[in-house]
Amino acid sequence: MPQATSSTLQLENLSPFIGTAVHGIDLREPVSDADFAVLRDALNQRSLLLFRGQQIDEGQHVAFSRRFGTLLGHVLTQFLKQQHPEIYVLSNVTEGGKPIGNHKEGWNWHSDLSYKAEPSLGALLYAVEVPPEGGDTLFASMHAAWDALDPAMQQRIRHLKATHSYANYYGKAFADRQPLSDKQRADVPDVQHPLVRTHPETGRLSLYVGQDVVKQIDGLPADESTALLAELNAHAIDPRFCYRHRWQAGDLLIWDNRSTMHCATPYDDHKYRRVMHRTTVAGDRPF
Ligand code: OGA
Ligand code: MN
């Protein structure tokens, strides 16, 4: 049953720990401050919001995204929309021999821009075209993952730090592509972040890990770092902490990168087209 709220919005949970569907809103129209406050609160509590059946254009996508904060570009500038450089395109489609978006972006567990000193607060991903099967996106609650760790492990990792590296991610995910240029590399130097971070708005702790993008846990022998990272990554994506999103065109999903990880899943990219538009909200330094 949808839960009533003080505004006209209706909220419906999608899974135990993560995800809420928002009903009764048309994102072509400006969102009132009262409704926006409900959305901000729901995002902080539930880490992921779903808006179905939205027929927004690029300008409306950008305008709504800006309500959440300053918008960021991307180091792969070739995949930003020329008219709306706040929009980063994920797609397998090519036009005139050129990819219109980054294909196979996020095909492993990560949170966006964790390789930056100030990673993204959150992202708003809009489904323009989706395959009839496959191409779901998985989301995991890193609050739930932290809460479920046994106390001895919590104590062991509470003050550890890890190195996040876009170059490491790119090298593994896109080994078949042209390597990053010197300029691109300089744009995304490796950074260090706490392995356990505090949500700046709620104070809740979460596990801050990721596959490939997290190169190592710092201050540990290499084999110990590799083993601990593998253990924490495996724990973090336990299905009980996850929600799987089956996309429909017109879906807009907003997630909180400070308390979640997500992962794309494959689809038949020879047979089907997938075109997704993402805006990315600036965040603070993790602590
Ligand atoms: C993203 C992302 C996954 C997907 O937009 O940041 O990782 O399923 N997307 O497209
Ligand atoms: Mn992503």
Which pLDDT tens digits describe the chain residue by residue (287 residues)? Answer: 555 445 789 999 999 999 999 999 999 999 999 999 999 999 999 999 999 999 999 999 999 999 999 999 999 999 999 999 999 999 999 999 999 999 999 999 999 999 999 999 999 999 999 999 999 999 999 999 999 999 999 999 999 999 999 999 999 999 999 999 999 999 999 999 999 999 999 999 999 999 999 999 999 999 999 999 999 999 999 999 999 999 999 999 999 999 999 999 999 999 999 999 999 999 999 99
Ligand nearest to the CA of 245: 1
Yes or no: say if 24 and 44 are a contact pair by the CB < 8 Å rule: no
pLDDT of amino acid 113? 97
Q: How far apart are CA 284 and CA 240, in angstroms?
A: 28
pLDDT for 4: 45
Q: Closest Cα to residue 127, out of 190, 53, 62?
A: 53
For ligand 1, say whether the CB of 119 is within 6 Å of any of its atoms. no
What is the amino acid identity at position 241?
F
Asked if 98 and 215 touch (Cβ cutoff 8 Å), the reply is no
In angstroms, the CA 91 to CA 76 distance is: 14
Dist. CA 91 → ligand 2 center (Å) = 13
The response to whether residue 137 sits with its C-beta less than 6 Å from ligand 1 reads: yes
CA distance linking residue 90 with residue 262, whole number of Å = 15
For ligand 1, atom 1, name the residue with the nearest CA: 106
Atom of ligand 1 nearest to the CA of 123: 6
Would residue 278 show up in a list of annotated catalytic residues for this protein?
yes
User: Ligand 1: which of 48, 87, 105 to mutate, judged by most atoms within 8 Å of the beta carbon?
Assistant: 105
Residue 77 structure tokens: 């500038």
Residue 83 is predicted with a pLDDT of 96
Atom 4, ligand 1: which residue's CA is nearest?
Answer: 264
Ligand nearest to the CA of 111: 2
274 is catalytic: no
